[in-house]
Amino acid sequence: MLLEDTIEKEKYKSLGDAEHIRGLFAKGMDRCDVALETGYPTGIIQRVFVEYQKEKTMPKKAKVTKCDFTKSFETKYGELHGFAVEFDNGDSGFYTSKSKDQNNFVVGQEADYEIKETKGQSGKPYNKIAPHRENTFGGGGKASSDKSIRSQVALKAAVETVVSHPKFAEEDMGVMPGIIVNIAGEYFEFLESHS
């Protein structure tokens, strides 16, 4: 273990502010804004963010009590169809499908799903529902190439975002690599969820 990692872990333990950082994420702040507001090292912010995301995206299982079609809309990925979904455990949110005749969420049947709070185009938060799928990672092939391309696109977009952000000054150059990596992670997650 690198000395820097050990020092950072000790700072994380001694800060005792993981809950404060989680609260900022819960309010919808991204990792860049949390870093700017708190001044905490990006490694600590990243660790809390990963823990926060894991908690929020844990797979769940419940019986579907409602699945109503809401609307169809055109995107650059083609036509998508929106559904309002509710479960017997009280969870609710919106599911988007490529098929209007989706069969992932059928009223009366149990479904494995993930729920994640996200922001809509208006900036308003909502719960995004998705069927839970086990990760099946294989080697090579088109999927691996596509993932590599999405990673490169995410990193390029993150660099452009950070260097154009008005809050950054030259004295912030020391923390920029960590912030860029954090933002690239968010862009990559977006690209993965829309591919």
Task: Look at residue 138 in the predicted model and tell me its pLDDT.
Answer: 47
Among 42, 58, 74, where does a domain finish? 58
Residue finishing a domain among 58, 87, 107: 58
**pTM attached to this predicted model:** 0.47
127 and 64 together in one domain: yes
How far is Cα 13 from Cα 188, in angstroms, rounded to an integer? 29
> Do 166 and 117 share a structural domain?
no
* Residue-by-residue pLDDT tens, the chain, 195 positions: 344 444 455 555 545 677 777 778 777 777 778 777 777 777 777 777 777 777 666 688 999 999 999 999 888 778 889 999 999 999 999 999 888 999 999 999 999 998 887 777 787 878 889 888 765 444 445 556 777 787 788 777 777 777 676 665 555 555 566 667 777 777 777 777 776
Specify the number of domains making up the chain: 3
Query: Between vectors from CA 31 to CA 30 and to CA 35, what angle results, nearest 5°?
Result: 120
**Sequence-ordered list of residues with C-beta below 8 angstroms from that of 8, at least 6 positions apart, any chain:** 41, 43, 44
Same domain? 140 vs 176: yes
pLDDT of residue 85: 96
Percent composition of the chain: helix, strand, coil (DSSP 3-state, to 5): 45, 25, 30
Neighbours of 130 (CB within 10 A): 17
Q: How crowded is residue 25: how many other Cβ atoms within 10 Å of its Cβ?
A: 20
Claim to verify: residue 68 and residue 23 sit in the same structural domain: no
- Please indicate, yes or no, whether residues 71 and 11 belong to a single structural domain of this protein: no
CB 74 within 8 A of CB 66: no
Domain's final residue, options 84, 111, 131 = 131
- Residue 154's identity, in one-letter code, is A
| Residue range of the domain that includes 149 | 136-195
CA–CA distances in Å: residue 70 to residues 8, 88, 96, 103: 47, 20, 10, 16
